[in-house]
Amino acid sequence: MVQTKRSDRPSEGADAQQAETADTQKSGKGSRRGRIFDYGELRLLLLAMLAERSSHGYELINEIKERFGGMYKPSPGVIYPTLTWLYDRSYAVIELEKGGRKRYSITEEGRAFLAANQAVSDMLMARVAPKGNSKSPKQLVGAMDHLKRALSLRIKLGPVADSVIDQMAEVIHSAADQLETLLTAPPQAKGAMTSIAEIATPNAQRYLRRLCTHFHHRTPVVSDETSGQFKMSMGEVRMEVVGDALFKVTLTAFSAEKIPEMEEIIVRHLQETAVREVLEIHWQRAER
């Protein structure tokens, strides 16, 4: 068995990004909707898996497939460039076995990088399909049947205008986005904290739109006319328009010490967005 050292050749990070994009597009998932991993998340997931045990590339592919109950299987064109990126950064080392097979193992640098992104890696490791749950919950089965009946009955009544079909598709996409966010939200760790601000303002929808637009350039945002949510490295932000004159912001931090920083970020962006209006923002904190 021969252990290879990191070479000085250029990183293949760009190749990994292109391969990941091509893989999602080949699966009909080139847009944000339905996307399994955001750019960079697959790297952390593979590193977390290598922290558990050394593996071959094909073993990692099959393990991810099992994690998602067979619903998603990354292609070799995604996995191997990503493993090369980890190797180039000295986060992983390669052991050459008989037949030229490569076994990947995490390095101390890799463990340090994983520790610096612990909250995100924990969330990714928790993002799995439930095991031993062959029967769908009856509430979900009933909801899906209701949706199918509504669509079937309406279609049978006669032709539907293209504009209405577009709106119907948008409603379904929006629901799918919100469901995906619920299913992929990280489990609340011990010591997590929530902070809530209920801000009286007649411009709640404007603040919602502005904050969703701003943070969309940094992280995926799920939103509709009255709500929005996104994840930060420190935790999760949820925003709601309540009635005609209330803007509610709920922050959930992975640890209590992160709450003040999250509050400061949101307050700063709200104040920058406010026009001829002084916002009174008071946070109420509670441990989860």
pLDDT tens digits, residue range 103-150? Answer: 999 999 999 999 888 888 887 887 665 554 445 677 877 888 888 888
Return the structure tokens found at 142. 């009933």
pLDDT for 230 equals 85
Q: What is the C-alpha end-to-end distance of the chain, expressed in Å?
A: 49
AA identity, residue 155: I
Beta-carbon contacts of 213 under 8 Å, excluding residues fewer than 6 positions away, are: none
Helix, coil or strand: residue 244:
coil
pLDDT for 195 equals 93
User: pLDDT under 50 in the chain at which residues?
Assistant: 1-2, 5, 7-15, 17-34, 132-134
Segment 212-243, tens digit of pLDDT? 888 887 787 777 788 888 888 888 899 999 88
pLDDT for 180 equals 63
AA identity, residue 178: Q
AA identity, residue 8: D
pLDDT for 7 equals 44
